[in-house]
Amino acid sequence: MLQSPLRNTIVKSFLRLRSLLLFVATLAMASGCGFYLRTTTLGTYISTVNIDISKSPGLEKELKHVFSLNGVSVSDSESAELSIRLKESSVQKSTSLVVPREGLQEYELILQVTFTLWFDGDKATEEDVSFTKAGRVRVHPNQLLSTSTEEQTVRTELIQGVVDDFVHDLYLRLAREQKTE
């Protein structure tokens, strides 16, 4: 059975029309559920933050960087919408693996950070939030120089992980509070 060119044209047109209708239906569903209203930055919920974490310059630098990426300006004012203080920060190092014949060791770094937060300059709203991240460093006795570099890299990754967790937690908290208002 030979197919006519007219039939091929009609089938192609029908398939294009069906694809267009599916696309329009998908857009209608997405706009109906509020997907287009969703935001992923903290700048939607707060505009200024006061950060005092001078005991840990790496942590303070990373926090300032992430807040600026999220559209939040860092202020020295005590009356900022959010104030953050470092209550406690510690790094623990523990051996997690030893291979005696090869002289290889692996140890785990655990970063624990506790921030004190309060909103709108009101210390009555003060609360503590804690975050923990862990990473592993391999030590080979013949490569001690590269081990210290690897350890510094892991420490930097731990700081970034804690800051990311903190900002994500803060974002979810502010989004929930706005939703209940």
DSSP 8-state symbol, 80: S
CA nearest neighbour of 173 among 127, 133, 139:
127
- State which amino acid sits at residue 56: S
What is the number of alpha carbons within 13 Å of residue 59 lying toward its C-beta? 27
C-alpha dihedral over 35, 41, 42, 44, to 10 degrees?
A: -60
Angle formed by the axes of helices 57-69 and 144-180, to 10°? Answer: 50
* 39-180, CATH topology level: Double Stranded RNA Binding Domain (3.30.160)
Does residue 86 contact residue 58 with C-beta atoms inside 8 Å?
no
Query: Between the CA of residue 156 and those of 31, 91, 111, 148, 149, what are the distances in Å?
Result: 40, 12, 10, 12, 11
Gyration radius from the chain CA atoms: 26
* 34 dihedral zone (left: phi>0; alpha: psi -120 to 50; beta): left
- Whole-model pTM: value is 0.71
Q: What is the pLDDT of residues 49-74, one digit of tens each?
A: 999 888 889 999 999 999 999 999 99
Q: What is the pLDDT of residues 99-156, one digit of tens each?
A: 666 677 888 999 999 999 998 888 888 999 999 999 988 877 677 666 778 889 999 9
pLDDT band at 35 (very low <50, low <70, confident <90, very high): very low
Q: List the chain domain ranges.
A: 1-36, 39-180
> 45-49, 89-93, 138-142, 163-167 — which is least confidently predicted?
138-142
